[in-house]
Amino acid sequence: MDNNSILIKNLKKNQYYNQTNFLFKQNFIGKLIKKGNKFYALNYFNRLKYFLKRKLKKDPNILLFLIIFYSTIKFHFIKKRFGGSKKEIPIYLNKNRQVKFIIKKMFNYSKSLEKRKSLDLNKLINLYLLTLKKKGFLIVNKYKAFIKAKENKILVKSLKK
């Protein structure tokens, strides 16, 4: 066996991998089910995994995990009023909310231009491929949120006192 297959086997036994994969699948399908058709949601998710596997010739579950891992946003900003001005304060997100935020941003970005605003599978796959290359919309948002949180770190420390 080569090193790559050993790493993949160890990754699949990892608890963080299993939890994150489960949360992604649950939230992704749950977001699609809001239209009211469970069969449509499962079919869409399976088509997405099929196209990812066909394009990259790797296990789609690991690819989806890497996409989540690269694009997770650890902070969310709320606006709080201090005197006459509003400041944005970073708040830490738990795992479940991190995955929900990622899925929400993915869906917003990959809507088609039609009136129905349904999801465009090609846009979604292109977004995933860009994220795997550490480029694109999700990575830029993560970087911007990190910079903003770093700038507001002093503000958070003063609020805790």
Does the pLDDT of residue 155 top 60, yes or no?
no
Torsions phi, psi of 143, nearest 5?
Answer: -65, -45
Total of domains in the chain: 1
Q: In the chain, what percentage of residues exceed pLDDT 70?
A: 86
Which of 107, 116, 112, 105 minimizes the C-alpha distance to 138?
A: 105
Mean pLDDT of the chain: 80
CATH of residue 154's domain is 1.10.455.10
Report which of 27, 26, 35 is spatially closest to residue 119, judged by C-alpha positions: 35
Least confident of 4-13, 30-39, 128-137: 4-13
pLDDT, one tens digit per residue, over 101-147 is: 888 888 888 887 776 667 788 888 888 888 888 888 888 888 888 78
Q: Residue 12: give the domain boundaries.
A: 3-160
pLDDT of residue 154: 59
